[in-house]
Amino acid sequence: AQSVTQLDSQVPVFEEAPVELRCNYSSSVSVYLFWYVQYPNQGLQLLLKYLSGSTLVKGINGFEAEFNKSQTSFHLRKPSVHISDTAEYFCAVKAAGNKLTFGGGTRVLVKP
């Protein structure tokens, strides 16, 4: 079985400041990792994914994430946020069985 823990339910951040959203997972087998963003009243949109290779993954809208196998983490970062980054962010893991398991989500509120 696999599980995903997003350590922060809400992250307030000022515009142009950096932000990091923390994600830890547990799985007994190799996994593939994903970050999704959900804007208000929308579905989820894929930000980035880690399948293999370089542990630093770059995604859309200036986001990046780093896979750390020893710490079973996949934290999402952006060096400078905009007001438009206000949204909910979901970390997800996929292993054997082929279904995504989502974390509880982190709400990012960017303040001017």
Looking at residue 65, its amino acid is A
Contact between 57 and other proteins by CB under 8 A: the answer reads no
The only residue of 46, 56, 83, 109 in contact with other proteins, by rule CB under 8 A: 46
Asked if 81 and 17 count as a contact pair (C-beta separation under 8 A), the reply is yes
**Structure tokens, 94:** 């996929």
Rounded to 10 degrees, the C-alpha dihedral 47/56/74/34 comes to 30
Q: Which stretch binds other proteins (CB under 8 A): 35-43, 60-68, 69-77, 78-86?
A: 35-43
Q: How far is the CB of 95 from other proteins (least distance, A)?
A: 7
Applying CB under 8 A, the residues found at the interface with other proteins are: 32, 34, 36, 41-46, 49, 51, 88, 90, 92, 94-96, 98-100, 102, 104-105, 107
